[in-house]
Chains A and B, each alone.
Chain A
């Protein structure tokens, strides 16, 4: 459940929550959880987020999943959102027509 709460907190962009969100990111059990949390963090417009993420990259104790999630988050924050997820949203119309390659595209750009 906390993944949804963390996405919401990232979106709300309160600088006070950055440390909590980075800590939760490091608790991720796998790359999927880490990426989902990282994307939540990337939604935050707080400047504190960038500082915290860059600092976390230097932490030798951080998990590999979290490290990779941070790379994804920094890519989103520093490079902008390509909007591909929105485009792929159209495939929600007829899920039985969802092609395998589109699923992979969606994963790959997250």
Chain B
């Protein structure tokens, strides 16, 4: 394994990048990046606060939506790639030959990028090139090919992926490719979103139930199957998911993943068990239950979250509960969040702040949220927590937040705080915010 968690096969690590050298490159677009835990033998890296890790993984969701009406530019009409379908189709046709050529580039990173793009919009025409790349000498390129086959949504690609998921090899795949089954199962989930038929689903069920050769392999396959369900919700795994949840001897990672999948895929049949898990003795399971309860529209969800937010003995579980209360928008009790922000333990304030910001975001109105957040920002002495307030203010999308955020951006010497202030400004999205962001891009454009 290399520094970022990828396979160590001589391909070398990806550039350690981003704006903070203490953290690995991100899985998600945006900054700062999520951090992986310190492992024995690994160089020590500073761990971010739990709320920062949470935000790093969540932020893509908020930057996927269009800015609200009245922002710098109006929200787009039509689909996510624009409304001029003819022009886009023409562009795809123009780019396809280039991508097919780049898929044979002497540079592995170029091949990887081309195959990823081919998977996204190449459809049937990309399948042959993606299959050929299964023989590539570079494992990251082969991984891009497996996932790209799923992204095509082409039925011919599903046969290859089903074979790889079952057998872990074959289809021309070069030996030494890591995590073949898991990657193929995730790729099948991508494909189900893009055109694979429901005939794939029973295969996933069979893979989940298979005994496999070791507990480790079984757990990894099960986690991949749960990611499949999160990508492409189906009730076909309801029974085995419940069985895993109730089995105290089941791998803990599988159980936490199962809980979170219940939330992401909104598996209503599993909600009663989810509520029970909110008071499980293991903190890891309560944390995952808290996250899932934020996404479940059930009468028991909010009371369970309030209990956790106020009484759980695990700080992270309490934090997740506060954030998940915010995800319920207007239905969630604002008073619990405001009390935690004003009077709660210091380490919970970032979570209360983010909960209030999310409450405004998901109810699509900032009424009553901005004032306590502005006050919290003004009086906050902890540099890290200021960043949480900045994000929360951004989530309110309240124009009044633009000036305080711009002041934080201009006045802070802490890189992380400045990054979070930038992201908060972008979420607010009014003209002064854009002007500040442009100014900072230009300021930072000094020769490197």
Contact = CB atoms under 8 A, between A and B. Distances in A.
A54 B91 contact: yes
B53 A92 contact: yes
Interface of A: 1-9, 11-14, 17, 20, 24, 27, 29-33, 35-36, 39-40, 42-43, 45-47, 50, 54, 57, 64-65, 67-69, 71-72, 74-110
A80 B120 CA distance: 7
Contacts of A1: 19, 415, 418-419, 422, 440, 444
B179 to A, nearest CB: 4
A14 B434 contact: yes
A64 B253 CA distance: 39
A5 to B, nearest CB: 4
A89 B170 CA distance: 31
Interface stretch (B202-210, B254-262, B378-386): B254-262
Given A82-B151, A93-B256, A110-B29, A20 B441 contact: yes
Identify which of A20, A36, A54 gathers the most chain B CB atoms within 10 Å of its CB: A36
Contacts of B32: 4
B37 interface: yes
Contacts of A45: 66, 73, 75-76, 82
Contacts of A14: 72-73, 434
A75 to B, nearest CB: 3
Interface string B259-298: 0110110000000000000000000100110010000000
Given A13-B72, A32-B14, A90-B257, A71 B438 contact: no
A7 B29 contact: yes
7 contacts: A45-B66, A68-B109, A68-B113, A71-B116, A82-B190, A90-B261, A103-B36
B6 A104 contact: yes
Contacts of B260: 90, 93
Interface residues of B, number: 116
Contacts of A108: 112, 116, 140, 143-144, 147
Given A2-B445, A97-B253, A32 B19 contact: no
A82 B288 contact: no
B182 A101 contact: yes
Interface in B216-269: 220, 223, 227, 230-231, 252-253, 256-257, 260-261, 263-264
A24 B441 CA distance: 8
Identify which of B17, B66, B178, B291 gathers the most chain A CB atoms within 10 Å of its CB: B17
B54 interface: yes
A78 B120 contact: yes
Contacts of B144: 108
| CB-based closest 8 A-B pairs | A8-B426, A79-B120, A106-B27, A75-B117, A92-B57, A32-B17, A39-B29, A79-B121
B191 to A, nearest CB: 10
B174 interface: no
A14 B147 CA distance: 32
A75 B440 contact: no
Given A12-B73, A94-B256, A85 B28 contact: yes
A82 B28 CA distance: 13
Contacts of A12: 67, 71-73, 426, 429, 433-434, 437
A84 B151 CA distance: 10
B88 interface: yes
Contacts of A43: 29, 63-64
A96 to B, nearest CB: 5
B438 A104 contact: no
Contacts of A75: 116-121
B73 A79 contact: no
A92 to B, nearest CB: 3
Given A1-B19, A94-B256, A97-B252, A79 B151 contact: yes
B400 interface: no
A6 to B, nearest CB: 6
Interface in B79-120: 79-82, 84, 88, 91-92, 94-95, 98-99, 102, 107, 109-110, 112-114, 116-120
B140 to A, nearest CB: 7
Given A33-B15, A78-B117, A100-B6, 19 more contacts: A2-B440, A2-B443, A7-B30, A12-B434, A24-B441, A33-B17, A40-B30, A42-B29, A45-B66, A45-B76, A64-B109, A71-B117, A81-B64, A86-B60, A89-B60, A94-B287, A101-B179, A108-B112, A108-B147
Identify which of B64, B110, B252, B438 gathers the most chain A CB atoms within 10 Å of its CB: B438
B4 interface: yes
